[in-house]
């Protein structure tokens, strides 16, 4: 079935970087954009950026410009999110999500990856 499977939970120290992976299956990976969002406890999701899985083109939310890098590996149907200079405010569940042109909405989500930043 169509799914996105993310890498496991991470614990990082302030100032470090984290890289989260998102492996797609059940559909043509290069046919859809992948977006990355995060969700802090008790809050709504926050959009971070997208990657065109075909061309590799990217767009980032201004809040994360210079700290986030989105990449992909088309041969392995996997997208990656790299976030640097972590602070405690970056503690959240990070999601990848497929953006569909059928709905112009996020129709398939990964299971989420908890990133905890603590000294």
Partner 1 sequence: EIVLTQSPATLSLSPGERATLSCRASQNVNNYLAWYQQKPGQPPRLLIYDASNRATGIPARFSGSGSGTDFTLTISSLEPEDFAVYYCQQRSNLWTFGQGTKVEIK
Of positions 7, 10, 16, 46, contacts partner 1 by CB under 8 A = 46
DSSP 3-state of 90: helix
Token pair in block for residue 6: 């993310």
Strand partners, 29: none
Whole-angstrom distance, CA of residue 80 vs CA of residue 36: 9
Is residue 47 a contact point for partner 1 (CB under 8 A)? yes
Strand partners, 82: 19, 69
Quick one: 75 or 102, whose CB is closer to partner 1? 102
Quick one: 15 or 114, whose CB is closer to partner 1? 114
What count of residues does the chain have? 119
User: Is residue 93 a contact partner of residue 39, using CB atoms and an 8 Å limit?
Assistant: yes
Q: Which of residues 5-34 bind partner 1 (CB under 8 A)?
A: none
Binders of partner 1: how many residues, by CB under 8 A? 18
- Closest separation between CB of residue 41 and partner 1, Å? 11
Q: Hunting for tokens 């953006």 — which residue is that?
A: 99
Stretches 11-19, 64-72, 78-86, 101-109: which one binds partner 1 (CB under 8 A)?
101-109
Which residue ranges make up the site for partner 1 (CB under 8 A)? 35, 43-47, 61, 95, 97, 103-107, 109-112
């Amino acid at each position: 079935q169509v799914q996105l499977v993310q890498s496991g939970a991470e614990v990082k120290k302030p100032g470090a970087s984290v890289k989260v992976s998102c492996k797609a299956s059940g559909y043509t990976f290069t046919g859809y954009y992948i977006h990355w969002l995060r969700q802090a406890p008790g809050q709504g999701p926050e959009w971070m950026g997208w990657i065109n899985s075909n061309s590799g083109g990217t767009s980032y939310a201004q809040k994360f410009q210079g700290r986030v890098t989105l990449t992909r590996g088309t041969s392995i149907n996997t997208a990656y999110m790299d976030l640097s200079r972590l602070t405690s405010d970056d503690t959240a569940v990070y999601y990848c999500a497929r953006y569909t042109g059928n709905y112009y909405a996020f129709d398939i989500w990964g299971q989420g990856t908890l990133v905890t930043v603590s000294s």
